[in-house]
Structure 1
Amino acid sequence: MIEEQGRVVALEPGAVWVETLRKSTCSSCSANAACGQGLMDRLGVGRQRGYVRALSDSPLSVGDTVVIGVREDLLVRSSLLVYLLPLLGLLAAALAADGLGLSEPLVILAGLLGLFFSWLLVRWRASRVAENPALQPVVLRTLLVSVPAAG
Structure 2
Amino acid sequence: MIEESGRVVRLESETVWVETIKQSACAGCSAQKGCGQSLLAKIGDGKRLEIQVDNPDQIAVSVDDQVLLGVGERSFLTASLLVYLLPVVAMFIAALMVQIAGFAEPLVIVAAVLGLIGGFLLTRIISNSMTAHCSYRPVLLQKLN
- Does the alignment reach a TM-score above 0.5? yes
2:50 is matched with 51
| CA–CA distance in structure 2, aligned partners of residues 5 and 35 of structure 1 | 27
| CA–CA distance in structure 1, aligned partners of residues 28 and 104 of structure 2 | 48
Post-superposition Cα deviations, 1:60-93, rounded to whole Å, max 9, x if no partner, equal 1110000000001100010001110000000111
Q: 1:99 to 1:54 in 2, by over 3 A?
A: same
1:30 CA drift (Å): 2.3
Letter in 1 for 2:19: E
How many residues align? The count is 143
Post-superposition Cα deviations, 1:34-79, rounded to whole Å, max 9, x if no partner, equal 12343465x6752201111111111211100000000011000100
Letter in 2 for 1:109: V
| CA–CA distance in structure 2, aligned partners of residues 40 and 76 of structure 1 | 22
| TM-score (structure 1 length as normaliser) | 0.88
Q: What is the 5 A alignment of 1:66-85?
A: 66-85=67-86
Indicate the SS of the match to 1:47: coil
| CA–CA distance in structure 1, aligned partners of residues 131 and 11 of structure 2 | 19
Stretch moving more, 128-137 or 25-34: 128-137
Q: Which runs of 5+ in 1 are unaligned?
A: 145-151
| TM-score (structure 2 length as normaliser) | 0.91
**Greater Cα radius of gyration, structure 1 or 2:** 1
Q: 1:40 to 1:102 in 2, by over 3 A?
A: closer
| CA–CA distance in structure 2, aligned partners of residues 33 and 135 of structure 1 | 35
| CA–CA distance in structure 1, aligned partners of residues 104 and 25 of structure 2 | 45
Stretch moving more, 9-18 or 29-38: 29-38
1:25 aligns with 2:35: no
Report percent identity of matched pairs.
42
